[in-house]
Structure 1
Amino acid sequence: MKINELVIPDSSACSAALEVATAYCSPALLNHSIRSYLWAAAHAKASGIAFDAELLYVSALLHDLGLVKEFDSHTVPFEEAGGHVAWVFGAAAGWPVERRVRASEVIVRHMGDGVDVAQDPEGHLLAYSTSVDISGRGADALPAELRAEVLGRYPRLGLAEEFTACFREQADRKPDSAAAAAMRGNIAARIAANPLDA
């Protein structure tokens, strides 16, 4: 499997999401967001999961905006802040309210466990792919050729250290958040041991 075999959506909303993510994310976080979409699309292709490519792409590109200083909230977890950004983004893109809500749900749910693929394929795929990219869980199920191509085109650029610092800071300020629960669950060790960084 190669990148050019994956569904890569091409719409004004997708171009705008890439522009927004490029403007606000660090290079490491931007590449993480792009890889998250690619891992999700690859998993969907291999598993026969039908999904809305535009919705998933936009959600993947915007899913961590709640971690950047311009959109970080001191009152809600980063995934909820990111969901709000996606809702506003969708309004500007001319999406109907239902589609804006879906983008928000996909982003919020990526931090949950066990998103049902039958009920929310995009949420399931984003939860799967972000887990692959951050902790390496399930990375060995992706074809080695695709992993090498994706990592060559979108290198990790010190994501492990940057992301761990982001989660630690979120956990300190928001002890009831999913990020804090992840830190208590020793995600930092799993991030450090991610085989994608080997």
Structure 2
Amino acid sequence: MHLADFAAPNTPAAAAARELAEAYSTPSLLNHVTRSWLWAEAFAEVEGRTDVDHELVYVAALLHDIGVAPAFDNVALSYEEAGGHVAVALTAGAGWPAARRQRVLDVIIRHNWPSVDPEQDVEGYLLEIATGLDISGARPDVLPAEFVAEVLQAYPRQALADEFTAAVTDQAERKPTTAAHRLVLGGIAAKLRDNPLERQRDPLER
């Protein structure tokens, strides 16, 4: 498994999601959402999942945290729900039918669930475990070590631990009924700090 094995979908929605993520994300968060897409695709391959909507995974991954960007920070909604509605608007412009637009909203919201049943939502499951790896360090040894190192070299973690901790803590304080509050109570700061991927800043360090 190599980074070159995974190519972004060549579709208007995928291109627009990438453009939006680049415009509104910090470098650390842009790398995080890109890695999340790559981890999701890699988990799908390792688990032999062939029933995956790859365009849906890509768009959801690239936009799953855009709700923490000031331009899309909703006054009441959780950041994942706010980001999901950004994805709904984007995919409406790309011509997705209503049912598929609902799917991108569902996938983005569910990435913050404690777990997602792959029989219910395989794309939501893949994004949940992918972000679980990138944020909390869950399942660190499932993907091939050489692939993980290659991804980290291409898309380094930079200041993700500090930036994401600050963003989620701010969300939790202002919106205490949302998933951000659960993440803070669950020790997201420590999970980010202690994530095994944080110890692999040098891609040759294995």
Q: TM-score, normalised by structure 1?
A: 0.97
Q: Say whether the 8 Å CA contact 2:108–2:124 is kept in structure 1.
A: yes
Q: Say whether the 8 Å CA contact 1:3–1:149 is kept in structure 2.
A: yes
Q: Residues 65-95 of structure 1: CA distance to partner in whole angstroms, max 9, x if unpaired?
A: 1011000011111011011111111111111
Partner of 2:37: 37
Distance 2:132 2:187 in 1: 14
Q: Say whether the 8 Å CA contact 1:63–1:83 is kept in structure 2.
A: yes
Q: Say whether the 8 Å CA contact 2:40–2:126 is kept in structure 1.
A: yes
Partner of 1:53: 54
Q: Say whether the 8 Å CA contact 2:34–2:61 is kept in structure 1.
A: yes
Distance 1:8 1:118 in 2: 25
Percent identical pairs in the alignment equals: 51
Q: Residues 5-49 of structure 1: CA distance to partner in whole angstroms, max 9, x if unpaired?
A: 236422121111101100010111011000000000000001011
2:162 matches 1:161: yes
Q: How does 1:1-198 map to 2 (within 5 A)?
A: 1-6=1-6, 8-50=8-50, 51-198=52-199
One-letter amino acid matched to 2:104 = A
Query: Alignment partner of 2:71: what SS?
Result: coil
Q: RMSD of the alignment, in Å?
A: 1.0
Q: Once structures 1 and 2 are overlaid, which stretch shifts more, 34-43 or 5-14?
A: 5-14
- Displaced runs of 4+ in structure 1, greater than 6 A? none
Query: Alignment partner of 1:141: what SS?
Result: coil
Distance 2:45 2:8 in 1: 12
Q: Once structures 1 and 2 are overlaid, which stretch shifts more, 165-174 or 8-17?
A: 8-17
Q: Say whether the 8 Å CA contact 2:17–2:59 is kept in structure 1.
A: yes
Q: Say whether the 8 Å CA contact 2:8–2:14 is kept in structure 1.
A: no
Instruction: For structure 1, list consecutive stretches of 5 or more residues without a partner in the other structure.
Output: none
Give the C-alpha shift of residue 140 in structure 1: 1.8
Q: Say whether the 8 Å CA contact 2:14–2:58 is kept in structure 1.
A: yes
Q: TM-score, normalised by structure 2?
A: 0.93
Q: Say whether the 8 Å CA contact 2:36–2:127 is kept in structure 1.
A: yes
Q: Once structures 1 and 2 are overlaid, which stretch shifts more, 99-108 or 181-190?
A: 181-190
Distance 2:180 2:143 in 1: 26
Distance 1:67 1:11 in 2: 25
Distance 1:165 1:81 in 2: 18
Give the C-alpha shift of residue 113 in structure 1: 1.9
Give the C-alpha shift of residue 118 in structure 1: 1.3
Query: Alignment partner of 2:116: what SS?
Result: coil
Distance 1:192 1:144 in 2: 20
Distance 2:83 2:132 in 1: 17
Distance 1:66 1:6 in 2: 26
Structure 1 residues 117, 7: closer, same or farther in 2, change over 3 A?
farther
Distance 2:145 2:8 in 1: 20
Q: Once structures 1 and 2 are overlaid, which stretch shifts more, 27-36 or 182-191?
A: 182-191
